[in-house]
A and B are shown apart, each in its own frame.
Chain A
Amino acid sequence: MMKIAVASGKGGTGKTTLSIALTQAISGKVTLLDCDVEEPNCHLFFPVELDETLPVTVLIPVVDEDLCNSCGKCAEMCQFNAIICMDIDPAMVFPALCHSCGGCALVCETGAISEEECVIGCIEKRTIAQDKTLISGRLNIGYSLAPTVIRAVNREQSDNQITIIDAPPGTACPFVATVSESDFTILVTEPTKFGLHDLSLAVATLREMKRHFGVVINRSEQAENMVTDYCQQENIPVLLQIPASRKIAESYSRGGSLLDVMPEMKLDLLAMLKQIQAMIGSKI
């Protein structure tokens, strides 16, 4: 089994394009996880029915207004401003901001705070082709606990197959939660200053986390560019370059895959997987 996260610093560099192409290139059982839970989009490329939807819940505080003595200890405890207490009024809870730490219930001296389940998002399962399953996480609008939904998505997939993870952009908590679950991280970037800048942030984060990773350059126009220079300097493997091609963009905009227009890239993708496998010493 092998879990590969496809991430990037900058958004819009080709995470979904590469995740889907990889899923299609590998023969046999593959699970594709869409962990960009704030705006999952992998399902847009597979016009199939939903197999199953599961709620993702967390515990949030509920205040018993008769027991609350308005001491304010809960509000003082909360580092997320999710519960406040004013004057002689009972404490007021903002579920969307709660990180479910349970601290407010612990410090409440009158036992006024109990915890109840609150739905913050869902997991959607689809069979997208024979042996290919897509599991997408979806965080409800207004809620902030993306990592909780990401971890729930990761718990849904079975362990005896290849898993490709479409990661959220950036280098913040959702990115960290996603790459923590994987054996290897592919950082997709583009040879632009923005691409390079955000790549360097992602590299710094992965190094801090001591994760295996390599770089794929998308929309590449020259074999040697500012990203290859950077990778050489930093001793980071460049796994693949995907050419800048209007064909690919047009296909993507119609919900098509990279392999629809460049089927020859399947061999490059499989060669890249072999390289990754060798780097982490795992069997596919």
Chain B
Amino acid sequence: MKIAISTAGNNLDAQVELRFGRASSFLLFDTDTRNFSMLDNSEQVNAMQGAGIKTAQNIVTAGADVLISGHCGPKAMQVLNAKNIAVYVTEKNVIGTAIANLQNGLLEQITTHDVAGH
């Protein structure tokens, strides 16, 4: 299983970026190999509009099965739902802890957007 986590950092000790669409990058963690790679999303940081939609497309294309972020808006959710990506939200946390929390069933899963369109 591949988990995508929004972040401004580049390792498991970095903070989870609480914004989804305008996160500058995603850490892709493979639960089978316990290795990770980085996905650049910097193009969406200053996108005129539709950052969430395009970012959702980017993590789908990168092969993610699960997303951990701070929040998710309605249009991004529509894309993620269409591709059956499970969306989990977390408070301020480091990535390693967020992944552990996910695996221990401590993260909240959302199936509808938790913030309005923005």
Show the binding face of A for B, using Cβ within 8 Å: 75, 79-82, 84-87, 89, 92, 94, 97, 142, 144
Query: How many angstroms from the CA of A80 to the CA of B60 in the assembled complex?
Result: 19
Whether B53 pairs with A94 at a CB distance below 8 angstroms is: yes
CA distance A79 to B60 in the complex (A): 19
Cα distance A35–B75 when bound, in Å?
28
Q: State whether the Cβ of B79 lies closer than 8 Å to any Cβ in chain A.
A: yes
**With A and B bound together, what is the CA distance between A85 and B60 in angstroms?**
10
**Are A87 and B48 in contact (CB-based, < 8 A)?**
no
| Chain A positions within 8 Å of B53 at CB level | 81, 84, 94, 97
Residue of B nearest to A84 (CB): B57
A84 vs B60: C-alpha distance when bound (angstroms): 11
Number of interface residues of B (CB under 8 A): 17
Contact A92/B49 with A86-B57, A87-B60 known, Cβ cut-off 8 Å: no
**Quick check: B48 and A79 within 8 Å, CB to CB?**
yes
Report the bound CA distance from A97 to B117 in whole Å.
Answer: 12
Annotate B75-92 by CB proximity to A: 1 below 8 A, 0 otherwise: 100110011000000000
B47 lies within 8 A of chain A by Cβ: yes
Interfacial chain B residues near A97, Cβ < 8 Å: 49-50, 53, 75
Chain B hits for A142, CB < 8 A = 117
Which residues of chain B have C-beta atoms less than 8 A from A89's C-beta?
A: 82-83
CB neighbours (8 Å) of A86 from chain B are 57, 60-61, 79, 82-83
Q: What is the chain A residue whose CB lies nearest that of B50? A: A81
Q: Residues of A contacting B51 with CB < 8 Å? A: 81
Shortest CB distance B51–A (Å): 7
Which 4 residue pairs across A and B have the least CB separation, nearest first?
A81-B50, A84-B57, A81-B54, A86-B60
C-alpha spacing A166/B30, complex, angstroms: 56
CA–CA, A227 and B97, complex, Å: 55
Check if A94 sits within 8 Å of B50, measured CB to CB. Answer: yes
Partner of A82, one of B50, B57, B83, B117: B50
List the A side residues contacting B61 at CB < 8 Å.
86-87
Beyond A75-B57, A97-B75, 12 additional pairs, beta carbon < 8 A = A80-B48, A81-B50, A81-B51, A84-B56, A86-B60, A86-B83, A87-B83, A89-B82, A92-B82, A94-B50, A97-B50, A142-B117
Which residue of the partner chain, among B49, B82, B83, B117, contacts A81 with CB atoms under 8 Å?
Answer: B49
Q: List 10 A-B contacts (CB under 8 A).
A: A80-B48, A81-B47, A81-B48, A81-B50, A84-B53, A86-B79, A86-B82, A87-B61, A92-B78, A97-B53
Digit string of B31-73 for contact with A (CB within 8 Å is 1, else 0)?
0000000000000000111110110110011000000000000
- Write out the residue numbers on chain B whose beta carbons fall within 8 Å of the beta carbon of A80: 48-50
User: CA separation between A75 and B78, bound complex, in Å?
Assistant: 16
Check A84/B49 contact, CB under 8 A, given A75-B57, A142-B117: no
The complex places the Cα of A79 from the Cα of B53 at a distance, in Å, of 12
Q: Known contacts A81-B53, A84-B54, A86-B57: does B48 contact A92 (CB below 8 Å)?
A: no
Q: How far is A22 from B47 in the complex, measured between Cα atoms in Å?
A: 40
A92 to B2, CA, bound (A): 24
Given contacts A75-B57, A84-B57, A86-B61, contact A92 B50 (CB under 8 A): no
Point out the residues of chain B lying under 8 angstroms from A84, CB to CB. 53-54, 56-57, 79
Most buried by B among A80, A82, A84: A84
